Amino acid sequence: MADVSEKIVVNKLELDILQKNIEQFKDISNQNKVLLWKDENFRIELPNKWEYSFYASIEGQIVGFAISSEKKNGYIHLHNIMVSKHFQSIGIGKRLLTAIILKVFNNNFKGVSLRVQPHNKRAMNLYTQLGFEKAKEEDDGDILMILNKKG
Ligand SMILES: CC(C)(COP(=O)(O)OP(=O)(O)OC[C@H]1O[C@@H](n2cnc3c(N)ncnc32)[C@H](O)[C@@H]1OP(=O)(O)O)[C@@H](O)C(=O)NCCC(=O)NCCS
């Protein structure tokens, strides 16, 4: 059987794709229970959201997403990254986040920011591996992590 990771396709998220597949997006959110996103959380319009958000699919099935938008401080902020439970740990999260980072670094932004719960080891590993560093601890205990564009 062909390696399933060879079938991963990462594309820019568009409103049309989100609308057509909203149940699959919500299902991934429900499976993970880290951040329960409803329709309105997915659909909300934010600055540059559709330029800096991506989804992953395998043979037409949505298997993950990474949704970001532009903040006034010059960073692209990652609001949510999630991979379907059935397809975790095969490189999809890394592919999604790398797509955002590459686009940010090729454009006029300071870098990428995100928040993570300190006990979320899997997410922490992914972020530190891609170069994110702890910037501060928020009042609610979340860690703000930043990846700065070099140079
Ligand atoms: C966090 C998440 C997005 C990572 O996506 P993924 O596709 O499973 O991760 P990848 O396969 O791309 O792995 C990337 C890195 O994450 C880390 N990682 C992946 N699976 C891991 C596991 N089971 N245990 C520990 N670290 C793990 C590793 O550092 C890995 O790099 P490596 O394969 O070179 O060792 C995914 O696990 C997920 O959806 N988790 C639930 C939702 C969530 O917590 N989102 C983040 C909110 S801040």
- In this predicted structure, the answer to whether residue 68 has a pLDDT above a threshold of 70 is yes
Angle at 89 between CA 120 and CA 123, to 5 degrees: 20
Model confidence over 27-52: pLDDT tens digits?
Answer: 999 999 888 899 999 999 999 999 99
pLDDT at 1: 52
Q: Is residue 50 a contact partner of residue 68, using CB atoms and an 8 Å limit? A: no
Rounded mean pLDDT of 53-75?
Answer: 97
| 96 Cβ inside 6 Å of ligand 1 | no
Tell me the CA–centroid distance for residue 128 and ligand 1, in Å: 11
| 18 Cβ inside 6 Å of ligand 1 | no
pLDDT at 34: 85
Model confidence over 135-146: pLDDT tens digits?
Answer: 999 999 999 999
**Considering only the top CATH level, what class is 4-148?**
alpha beta
Nearest atom (ligand 1) to Cα of 92: 7
Tell me the CA–centroid distance for residue 18 and ligand 1, in Å: 23
Beta bridge partners of 115: 144
Residue nearest to atom 42 of ligand 1 (CA): 82
Model confidence over 77-103: pLDDT tens digits?
Answer: 999 999 999 999 999 999 999 999 999
- Residue spans of the domains in the chain: they are 4-148
The pTM score is: 0.96
